[in-house]
């Protein structure tokens, strides 16, 4: 069965609903895997991910769940930090392959002599890196909707580079499907959650591996529902944001706590006490928690759920969740003076 062919790339909801399937469609080619093994022969001092927007998320989610002695950094900019030297591995991710920040930082890394890998569906990036170090993604998706496809390339690449035990994403996908069936029982239906968000500004708050999930949720509400949203990190919020609770009700801000079954006792206490203090000031935070066996499963399950909430919110508000007109206008205006790439 050609699962990819069945996904309607013009319909954001069908792409989001196919999240578990998309997570298991692509696998790294033998050639690409061999190049990773070759790169591993030299001592890897660090892994540097390059990419913007929807193409950066997979690296941020991966960074959140992979524990390693080797530093993993994510660069969302035109250039790479000075400490990224030849002995670092570069993974450049651009769905379109034409994002100037990613292309320019990749070229800088190439100049330094670092071993570079590319994950892209085409564009200029297709020819930046030798084909045995390029993973080619299927075309036709909005980059943010391609998250499971990109993740299923980024995650095993980093896993292999670090010599980690292989996690079968098919098993994770099967779990995600089970969780999807629990929408409406264990957790309210995404459409009901979206209805609750109408007229409010969510602040998604996550700890550890759920911090990038909070960031993804903010981006999805921005891009799909064309609505304002923010994200923050616990315990950091306990040292600043908590003081602004006085303005939450007036500004229609609603904290959404992404709770983890893997929280430490102290983090759970912090979330609970923060919740109570917010309530004392007339603000009712909402918690999202999903049963999961691993941090990876939890990361993807909450991402999947909130992706769907963002699409439902777009539908309720009456905006098109696919088009990102302002992003396109900006890219076009910049392209009129594109000597840089």
Cα–Cα distance list, 76 to 17, 50, 117, 337 (Å): 28, 6, 16, 21
| Residue 331 annotated to the active site | yes
Annotation marks residue 239 as catalytic: yes
Which residues, numbered 229-288, are part of the site for ligand F6R (CB under 6 A)? none
Cβ–Cβ < 8 Å for 153, 95: no
The yes or no reply on residue 310 touching ligand F6R (CB under 6 A) is: no
Nearest CB to ligand F6R, comparing residues 144 and 295: 144
Q: Is 208 in the site for ligand F6R (CB under 6 A)?
A: no
Choice between 12 and 36, CB closer to ligand F6R: 12
Q: Closest distance between ligand F6R and the C-beta of residue 105, in Å?
A: 12
Choice between 249 and 315, CB closer to ligand F6R: 315
239, 250, 332, 339: the catalytic one is 239
Tell me, residue by residue from 136 to 175, as one string, x for binding to ligand F6R by CB under 6 A and - for no binding: ------xxx-------------------------------
CB of 144 to ligand F6R, least distance (A): 3
For 7, 137, 215, 234, the CA distances from 143, given in Å and listed in that order, are 15, 10, 16, 28
Window of 75-83, 93-101, 130-138, 226-234 that interacts with ligand F6R by CB under 6 A: 93-101
Out of 74, 96, 205, 292, name the contact with ligand F6R by CB under 6 A.
96
Q: Which stretch binds ligand F6R (CB under 6 A): 15-23, 95-103, 257-265, 286-294?
A: 95-103
The mark string for 209-228 relative to ligand F6R (x by CB under 6 A, - otherwise) is --------------x-----
Taking Cα atoms as reference points, which of 294, 78, 40 lies closest to residue 157? 40
Burial 227-264 (b: 16+ CB within 10 A, else e): bebbbbbbeebeeebeeebeebeeeebbbbbbbbeebe
Q: What are the tokens at 136? A: 């080619």
What percent helix, strand, coil does the chain show, rounded to 5? 55, 15, 35
Residue 137 has which token pair?
């993604």
* Residue 95 or 207 with smaller CB distance to ligand F6R: 95
Give the span between the Cα atoms of 286 and 70, in whole angstroms. 36
Q: Is the dihedral of CA 26, 32, 38, 42 positive or negative?
A: negative
Q: How far is CA 307 from CA 64, 217, 236, in A?
A: 18, 7, 25
Of positions 94, 105, 179, 292, contacts ligand F6R by CB under 6 A: 94
Q: Is 324 among the residues that bind ligand F6R (CB under 6 A)?
A: yes
Does 205 help bind ligand F6R (rule: CB under 6 A)? no
Bridge partner residues of 46 (DSSP): 88
The footprint of ligand F6R on this chain (CB under 6 A) covers a number of residues equal to 15
Residue 93, SS3 per DSSP? strand
Q: Out of 101, 128, 223, 297, pick the active-site residue.
A: 223
Per-residue x/- marks for ligand F6R, 42-81, CB under 6 A?
----------xxxx--------------------------
57 secondary structure, DSSP code: H
Residues that bind ligand F6R (CB under 6 A): 52-55, 94-96, 99, 102, 142-144, 223, 324, 327
Q: What residues are annotated to the active site?
A: 223, 239, 331
């Amino acid at each position: 069965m050609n699962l990819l062919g069945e996904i309607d790339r013009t319909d954001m909801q069908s792409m989001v609903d196919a999240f578990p399937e998309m997570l298991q469609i692509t696998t790294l080619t033998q050639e690409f895997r061999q190049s990773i093994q070759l790169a591993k022969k030299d001592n890897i001092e660090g892994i540097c991910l390059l990419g913007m927007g929807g193409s950066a998320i997979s690296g941020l989610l991966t960074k959140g769940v992979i524990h390693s002695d080797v530093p993993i950094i994510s660069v969302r900019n035109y250039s790479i930090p000075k400490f990224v030297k030849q002995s670092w591995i570069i993974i450049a991710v651009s769905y379109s392959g034409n994002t100037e920040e990613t292309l320019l930082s990749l070229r800088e890394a190439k100049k330094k002599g670092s071993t570079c890998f590319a994950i892209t569906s085409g564009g200029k990036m297709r020819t930046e890196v030798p084909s045995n170090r390029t993973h080619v993604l299927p075309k036709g998706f909005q980059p943010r909707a391609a998250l499971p496809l990109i993740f299923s390339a980024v995650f095993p690449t980093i896993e292999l580079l670090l010599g980690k035990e292989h996690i079968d994403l098919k098993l994770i996908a099967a779990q995600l499907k089970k969780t999807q069936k629990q929408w409406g029982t264990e957790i309210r239906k995404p459409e009901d959650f979206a209805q609750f968000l109408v007229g409010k500004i969510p602040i998604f708050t996550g700890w550890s591996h759920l911090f990038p999930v909070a960031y993804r949720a903010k981006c999805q509400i921005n891009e799909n529902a064309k609505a304002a949203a923010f994200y923050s990190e616990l315990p950091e919020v306990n040292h600043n944001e908590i003081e602004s609770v006085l303005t939450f009700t007036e500004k229609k801000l609603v904290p959404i706590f992404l709770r983890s079954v893997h929280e430490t006792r102290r983090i759970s206490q912090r979330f609970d006490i923060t919740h109570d203090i917010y309530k004392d000031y007339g603000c009712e935070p909402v918690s999202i928690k999903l049963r999961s066996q691993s941090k990876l499963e939890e990361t993807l399950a909450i991402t999947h759920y909130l992706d769907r909430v963002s699409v439902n919110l777009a539908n309720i508000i009456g905006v098109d969740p696919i088009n990102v007109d302002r992003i396109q206008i900006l890219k076009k205006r910049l392209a009129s003076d594109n000597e840089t790439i």
